[in-house]
Each structure stands twice: as C-alpha cells, then as structure tokens.
Amino acid sequence: MQNMILVTGGAGFIGSNFILQRIQEQATSIVNLDKLTYAGNPHNLETVSSDSRYKFVQGDIGDRALMRQLLGTHHPCAIVHFAAESHVDRSIRGPEDFVRTNIDGTFALLEETRAYWSALSDEQRKSFRFVHVSTDEVYGSLGPDDPPFSESTPYAPNSPYAASKAASDHLVRAYHHTYGLPTLTTNCSNNYGRFQFPEKLIPLMILNARDGKALPVYGDGQNVRDWLYVEDHCAAIATVLRRGRLGDTYNIGGWNEKPNLEIVHMICDLVDEMAPRAGNSRRDLITFVKDRPGHDRRYAMDARKIERELGWRPKATFESGIRETVRWYLENEAWVRDVTSGSYRQWVATHYSG
C-alpha cells in the first residue's frame, strides 16, 4: 500500500512523463493500467520497463472486474487518473469513444475505487487519494478581454471532448460530496513536450516542417492557447497529490498565452535552425485551412490558487521548453516512425483531405 500509485492512461503523453518523473523517487511504485489505444505507446516507458517498482497492465478502465482485481492485488494508496480520449478533432468526427471512456470509464473507475476505499482501515482511508486529471476546456471559450478561467468559472464545454471531460469532473465531485471519496481534480491548459502524439498542433507542425509538408493552420490562426511544458504539469499533479485539499479543484497553467500562428512561426524558425535545408524558410509551408467546427477562440488559466496554496510554479519558459521539444522530435526518429505508421497516416489523410 505504501507509496504504490495506480496510474490510468500512463502510456499516453502526459501519463508517461508523469511515471518517468515519479519513479525517480526511490520509495514510489507504480502500476500503469492502459488500454493502448492509438495514443498509448509502451515504448515511452522503455527505460523503466524492467524496474521492479514499475508494472504495466494492458486493460480498459471500464472493465470493472479487472479494476477490482488490480486494486485488490496491488493495494494502491493513490490513483492518478489520466486515461481518456483526448483529441478534440476526433471527438467531433466520432464522439462515442469519448463518452465511453471519459464518462462511462471514469464512472466505472469511481465505483470500483469507492468499493476498494470503503473496505480500507480508517487510517488507510484517510491517506488514500484519487486525483482526476482534467482540462481547461470544460470552461468554454474566452473573449479577448475576459479574465482567465478560475476555479469558480462556470462550466461551459463546447466540444464533445470537453463535454465528456466536464461530465467526468462532475462525477468526481459528486463522489467526494456524497460518499466522501478523497478526490482532487486538476484542470490544466495545453501541454507540450516529448511523447505527444503528432495529431496535436505542436508535434504535427514540427514533423510536417521537418518533412517539408504543408502546415495546416485552422481558420485565421488567431485562436489563443495557454501553453505549459509537460514536466511542469506533472510536477503540479504530484504537488496536488501530496498537498491538495480534499474535494478541491486546482487550475494549472503556464501564464503563457499565444495565438496559434505565433507558435507555428516559432516552430518553423527552430526547425530551420536545427535541420537547415536549402531554399525557403519553413514559414512558406503555412497553409490556412477550414476552421475546426465550434473552435474555442481563447483559453487562459488563472493558476494563482495552486501557486498560493501549494507553492507550485512552472519552471520552464516557453522559449526553453519549445526548443527542447523541437530538438526531441528531430532526434527521436525511431519513436516518430513508430507512431506515424498505419492508422496515423489514415487519420491525417482523412482529416486534412478537404
């Protein structure tokens, strides 16, 4: 029980960065339950795969018998719940998987956790934690002069993805309020860094720029996101796990709002610098394409609560983080080749065909 964490979705982008960061603490053991959808990649965790403090289990959070067995066998003192369908564009094309995993799956996980937690000793019940990793998208879209989202901003999700995450947040809240389950919810802004599946803006642009392919910018490129380096997000989750107030939610962000076009320009310039080629700048590859339906205009996070109450602050600057990220994608050709074969090509062909 002591220091055994059950991580769900730990073969994905943020989950695998979280596991690699946490396993550095000698006293921590981790069981990683992941379904290995297209977004899950066990290679991310190769460096810890033979560590006796790490165990991988392939499975679905919605499989209640499996969850019961895992909890009963490993006796975790905490669950950190990352598993989700996470790509907004896929939720627009096919919302069903998002309802199944993000809502039904979280419900199944909560039910099995409640049963497990209820049977613990008083002392173990007190120290147990369930951390639900969620998103700023539950708050909807900001106008140019609106203040950033705070923990008391009303929920107004606009995409099927955001709606499914909002529903899961409400379930987590209800399990604390009704049953006393010791939950904590984090709502974070856009992450970037190593291991992000290249369907998302930053890795997609890095790889297309590297390969001299079109850089598809939706709409006018002026949609704003608040970018946070993934290592800082993982450190924030660990801080909430250790010191967060039970039942509370914490907004996490990088104080780093940027329009998409500015991000793409920075990526083009870094790829030009690190992988020079004869001829024009990569900026010439930028192509404005049809906008995402219901595209949220602006996200920005007010992260003062976690800073004030728990002492967390982002360490990376955007300039250092994006440089490191571009370098990582350019240097990890085998990882890139592995994830961009097969179904990825099909997604790109279908999604960007028009």
How near is the Cβ of 248 to ligand NAD at its closest, in Å? Answer: 17
Q: Which is nearer to ligand DAU, 225 or 305 (CB)?
A: 225
Measured N-to-C along each axis, helices 201-211 and 318-331 cross at an angle, to the nearest 10 degrees, of 50
Place of tokens 């360490």: 315
Beta-carbon contacts of residue 249 (< 8 Å; ≥ 6 apart): 151, 169, 173, 184, 185, 186, 187
Confirm or reject binding of residue 136 to ligand DAU (CB under 6 A). Answer: yes
Query: By C-alpha distance, which of 329, 318, 18 is closest to 196?
Result: 329
Residues with a known catalytic role:
136-137, 161
- Binding pattern for the stretch 197-236 against ligand NAD, x by CB under 6 A and - elsewhere: x---------------------------------------
Distance of CA 315 to the CA centre of its chain: 18
Confirm or reject binding of residue 260 to ligand DAU (CB under 6 A). Answer: yes
Phi first, then psi: what are they for 109, rounded to 5°? -60, -45
Binding partner selected for residue 204 from ligand DAU, ligand NAD, none, CB under the kind-specific 5 to 8 Å limit:
ligand DAU
Record the tokens describing residue 41, joined without a space: 């990649």
Q: Which is nearer to ligand DAU, 60 or 136 (CB)?
A: 136
Tell me which stretch binds ligand DAU (CB under 6 A): 31-39, 121-129, 147-155, 213-221.
213-221
Determine which residue in the list 40, 182, 193, 216 makes contact with ligand DAU, applying CB under 6 A: 216
Beta-carbon contacts of residue 204 (< 8 Å; ≥ 6 apart): 198, 216
Determine which residue in the list 22, 35, 87, 176 makes contact with ligand DAU, applying CB under 6 A: 87
Q: Which is nearer to ligand DAU, 76 or 216 (CB)?
A: 216
Q: How far is CA 279 from CA 117, 208, 262, 276, 284, in A?
A: 62, 16, 22, 9, 10
Which residues of this chain interact with ligand NAD, rule CB under 6 A?
A: 8-9, 11-15, 34-37, 39-40, 60-62, 82-86, 101, 105, 133-135, 165, 188, 190-191, 197
